[in-house]
Structure 1
Amino acid sequence: MSSNFADLFEQTADRVPHRAAVVHGDRTATFAELDVRANRIAHTLAARGVGVGTHVGYLMHNSIETVETILACFKLGAVLVNVGYWHGWAQIRHLCDHADLEVLVHHRRYEPAVAEARQSLPNLRHTIAVADEFTERRQAPSAASAETDLRAGLPFRPLTARGGEDLMLVYTLGTTGPPKAIMWQHQDLARVLAGSMDFHLDRLGARRLRGSHRGAGHPQWLVLVPLGDAAGVMPTLTALLCGHTVVLTSQFDPDEIWRIVAEKRPQVLVSAGDAMARPLLDAYRRRPTDATSLTTIASCAAPLSQSVKNALLEQFPWTDVFESIGSSETGLRGAGVARKDDDLARRSRFHLAPGTVVVDADGAPTETGAEGYLAATRNLPLGYYKDQRGTDSLLRVTARESLAISQDVARVESDNTITFIGRRDTSIEIAGVTVFVEEIENVLKSFDTIGDAMAIALPHPGRGSQIAALVCSTAGTTLSSAALKRHLCRHLAWSKVPRLIWSAPTLPRSPSGKPDYRRVQSYIAERVPNHVLAPRGPA
């Protein structure tokens, strides 16, 4: 049986054709309708030369058309490329050029950026504009993109030589560098998803999500993470392949999201770390609504701080707050259910999925209590696209097995769980000691008047580096430097307390909650040291 995502989706569509597959606003597409609409798009793209191996990008926000376009590319065996709509035109141009795109499908609202980028992309043969809810349908398209009724093609499933070896290019934002692409075969990514889902359901007690396979109804997943990010595509595919319903919203509007929860009654809410959870909590507190349908609040793409976990569990005591750990390079590798804790610097703990290990820098398994790198031993990616050096760093072959080694640092505990320590590529070296920014950021974000925080390293003449931070105050509050200093010293070792802290209206994150530390460095470098806090010693 093929492990191509198109084949897996078609099997589900044949099994539950009349069930709602995707809901967006007042529109609903059943599995049968979604299948036919994806078929029509596939034939339209095929008429423009798209086939097995053609690199096709999509620059689209969350909508039914986005899901249809993704499935259509799978049906043709095309190499799907995610192009995040939050990028500026220069970054879009770089990504399209790096990915060797031949066709780009985009919502019309992003046409100015596409038109600007296309001027220097001679290999991009077609850009196809799709009408969306943010632009007038009667508005005339520009010469840059051909306005096309993508669903004008034949309704039948295209006959293509697709298979499990078909590729996806998964572009990740890169918190410390430019976007990079990981090459995944469908068969490996599908098995990572399937294996992780079975593991999550069996190990963590969320068996109520199994309804579609046992005739006990089916859940609805409200996916808030953008489909322009793999962190949004993966849970969407997981839900669809299980026969579940995916509910989408075009943009992240916390008040609108709670209205959707009350109206659509989803069981699962998929968000992305504190960047989404905090605004959702604030909106719910301002205007509570009926959220009793939710059984699971899941966070992917970005971690939840302990203070936010505590708040979610207090506000929604009937739900499980569910975290997962993984990366674009390794897929989902572990999961955990959040627990309340008074230690605001507490790190997340996870059960590891099958085929996941913690290894040292040489690829050897670590001992209990030792820190190492989270790695996958099965269903591995092929490496980075057009980056052999990065591939050699990611993929290792030891005397025992082949590995894909991530930058996630974890510690193995005595009960066979792991504690997530932080990302090695964003850690800070101070006088020979490694400091992970996640711990510092969690404590900063637990302060009453701080809504978001990012920690970075700045040069220091004596120690080589010093810790600095950029914070965002919560609405209508002021930041007290003395109170913040006491709070930091209470929960962090003195060596980890930021020496310099700046305040900004917002912090640079992608819509999926991932931090952009390059922009934080630039922000601070451009400003005189008018900081909030510059402590000289422990309180």
Structure 2
Amino acid sequence: MPQLDLATLHEAIAAAVPDRECVVWRGGRRTWAEVAERTRRLAHVLHAHGLGVHGTATRPWESPHDHLALYLHNGPAYLEGLLAAHKARVAPFNVNYRYVDDELAQLFGDARPRAVMYHACFADVIARVLERIERPALLIQVPDASGERLLPGALDYETALAEAPAGPLEGVRPDPGDLHILYTGGTTGLPKGVLWRIGDLMTGPLGLARRDGTPITDLDEAVERATRSRDRVLVGPPLMHGGGTWTALGAWIAGGCVVFPGRVDGLDAADLVATAARERVTRMPVVGDAFARPILEELERGGVDLPELRTLLNSAAAISPDVARRLQERLPHVRIVDVLGSSESGFQVTRRGASDGPFVPRPDARVLSADRTRRLSPGEDELGWLAKTGALPLGYLNDPERTAATFRVVEGERVVIPGDRARLLADGRVEVHGREATTINTGGEKVFAEEVEGVLRTLPGVRDALVVGRPSERWGTEIVAVLRVDGDGPDDAELRAGCAGRLARYKIPKAFVRTRRGLRLPNGKADYAAARALVADAGGTGDGTGGETGDETGGDAARPALRRR
């Protein structure tokens, strides 16, 4: 099936609505025509340094492109770098700006960037890591408030753009088969580079489709749809993760304007809500309670209204039912849409409102048997695997084994199986149990951490909860809950009583560790490594005494952040 590519579509929309706002940040406003020209200039810079596509890949874990690392906070430069890469037929990839030197060196060793575009505040880290890897052909430093000097041999971003030609690259024609690389968060192992063809990404996760779900492949039809759009999308979650990037690009290919909050190195709920009101945003992505709760508290303080907002799109982590209910009461005109998916699949299932019940599957979602050999029928009482068909990535960069294990053919369909366990109910809805990687085997019983966490987060005084296992002489592994609480929070007896009505006895945590620190990574996902460290520091052997570990407020949960479950 013919497809469209990002670079061609963006240029066509810019020609149709040149003076419409395309991106807004801190009062700076760039039109579609201005963004189109700036990205053409950057594409010339990349091309002048020899970057592009070289031949074709013959295996699904290979890339024929040179790669551009985007080591940036949110802002116009991130999206300009991404779009310019596609105009030059360079494959962009995301860099987690929270990585320390060893993690960054490992990532660059796998991705092999030929160019790195980075904010000035990261210059020192880049300088250290360059001593450990093959030096890229091009370094582009984006100025910021840090005032860091330009690294030797690096180009200043704005200077490079000003000196580059403004016209299209001659002889370079972007293709829907060009790659876009999305590195996973690494929460269940080392980060893996997911190889998306940009055409598949657009008709899949980015939503270039008609109301009936059929993909839009005609350029004129896509542009005509975009000219009708008045969407203004506020992107708070970091673009360094799939959910943030997909939300922003989805807005662009639909002709919308992307708006960033003033603060981009952490979550500032007051700033986020004020920006939403001032810029009349119509859609806003959130990442579970880490975003929803502080936004709710800001709204409940009063003084701000969001009459233009129509959709809160939640992904990457769950919103507690009470928080969702209060949000719905405060914003009755807004739809709360909860989506679940992964870097490898895009969104697979959805639910609306304040419910914490089963999900509604997309038409291309599947639930496979436990042995991954067949599709389950509604009502089969088997705990299987959530899967997806349709527009899918090719595989994982440099990893044939994981590619073969995750991307399979079942009953004649190519499917991706990211790792979520699920049950297909008789009414066709999907009951999602969580990631196999977070399953705890205790006393011969399997317990899904996310099920227990969801119950704990509904209890009064509990702001957040993660569940991990620790060695136990009696149980082999026992369940321990790490809680972020208000004040002293509920005592152990209250916590166990709150769990008892909704969980089997073997699922109830044997111990509770309390903390005032955040339990989330910048993207809002669960920081299980931090939770395990807190449990180790607390000590104990499951006697139920719990503990208090740390008195910091905020932590990673106070910073910004699909649901990568």
Alignment TM-score > 0.5, same fold: yes
Instruction: Give the Cα separation in 1 of the matches to 2:165 and 2:440.
Output: 56
Which position in structure 2 is the counterpart of 1:107?
119
SS at match of 1:491: coil
Percent of counterpart pairs with the same letter?
Answer: 28
Q: From 351, 357, 367, give the equivalent of 1:358.
A: 367
Contact 2:311 / 2:335 at 8 angstroms: preserved in 1? yes
Q: Secondary structure at the match of 1:106?
A: strand
Q: Is the 8 A contact 2:226 2:256 kept in 1?
A: no
Matched, 1:242 2:263: no
Instruction: Evaluate the alpha carbon distance shift between residue 30 and residue 410 of structure 1 in structure 2; reply closer, same or farther with a 3 A threshold.
Output: same
Residue 327 (structure 2) aligned to one of 312, 319, 322: 312
Shift of 1:253: 0.7
Quick one: which of 476, 492, 502 aligns to 1:481? 492
Deviation of 1:530 (Å): 9.6
SS at match of 1:175: coil
> Does 2:240 correspond to 1:228?
yes
Distance 2:323 2:28 in 1: 33
Q: Alpha carbons of 1:220 and 1:435: their partners in 2 closer, same or farther (altered >3 Å)?
A: same
Task: State the secondary structure of the residue aligned to 1:173.
Answer: coil
Q: Does the CA-based 8 Å contact 1:322-1:338 persist in structure 2? A: yes
Q: Which amino acid aligns with 1:37?
A: R
Aligned to 1:338: 353
Amino acid at match of 2:32: F
Q: Could you tell which deviates more after superposition, 266-275 or 414-423?
A: 414-423
Indicate how the Cα distance of structure 1 residues 227 and 183 shifts in structure 2: closer, same or farther if over 3 A, else same. same
Do the aligned partners of residues 150 and 66 (structure 1) sit closer, same or farther apart at CA in structure 2, a change above 3 Å counting?
A: farther
Alignment counterpart, residue 500 of structure 1, candidates 507, 511, 519: 511
- Aligned position for 1:326: 341
Letter in 1 for 2:270: D
Which of 457, 475, 481 is residue 469 of structure 1 equivalent to?
481
SS in 2 for 1:41: helix
- In 2 relative to 1, CA 264–142 (structure 1 residues): closer, same or farther, beyond 3 Å? same
Q: Specify every segment of 5 or more residues in structure 2 that has no aligned partner in the other structure, as ranges.
A: 54-64, 215-221, 547-565
1:5 has 2:14 as partner: no
The correspondence for 1:135, drawn from 141, 146, 149, is 146
Query: Residue type matched to 1:300 in 2?
Result: S
TM-score normalised by L of structure 1? 0.90
Q: Equivalences for 1:451-466 in 2 at 5 Å? A: 451-466=463-478
Q: Per-residue deviation at 1:88?
A: 1.9
Q: What corresponds to 1:168 in structure 2?
A: 180
- What aligned pairs does 1:250-289 form with structure 2 within 5 A after superposition? 250-251=264-265, 252-289=267-304
In the TM superposition, what are the counterparts of 1:39-58 in structure 2 within 5 Å? 39-52=40-53, 53-58=65-70
Q: Give me the CA root mean square deviation.
A: 2.5
Q: Match of 1:405?
A: 417
**Which residue, out of 377, 387, 391, partners 2:403?**
391
Change (3 A) 1:116 1:181: same
> Deviations for 1:244-291, whole angstroms, at most 9, x for unmatched residues?
111112242101111112211111111111211112112222344112
Residue 142 of structure 1: how far off its partner (Å) = 3.5
* Cα distance in structure 2, aligned partners of 1:453 and 1:411: 24
Write the letter of the residue equivalent to 1:65.
A
User: 1:402, CA displacement in angstroms?
Assistant: 1.8
Question: For this pair of structures, how many residues does the alignment match?
Answer: 518
Shift of 1:196: 7.4
Partner Cα distance (2:223, 2:192) in 1: 37
Residues in 1 aligned to 2:410 and 2:213: alpha-carbon distance in whole angstroms: 32
Following TM superposition, by how much is the alpha carbon of 1:42 offset from its aligned partner in structure 2, in angstroms? Answer: 1.0
Deviates more, 1:363-372 or 1:263-272: 363-372
Determine if contact 2:226/2:254 at 8 Å carries over to the other structure: no
Gapped regions of structure 1 (runs ≥ 5): 203-209, 341-345
TM-score by length of 2: 0.86
Separation in structure 2 between the aligned mates of residue 212 and residue 222 of structure 1, nearest angstrom: 23
**Alpha-carbon distance in 2 for matches of 1:260, 1:195:** 25
Secondary structure of the residue aligned to 1:363 is: coil
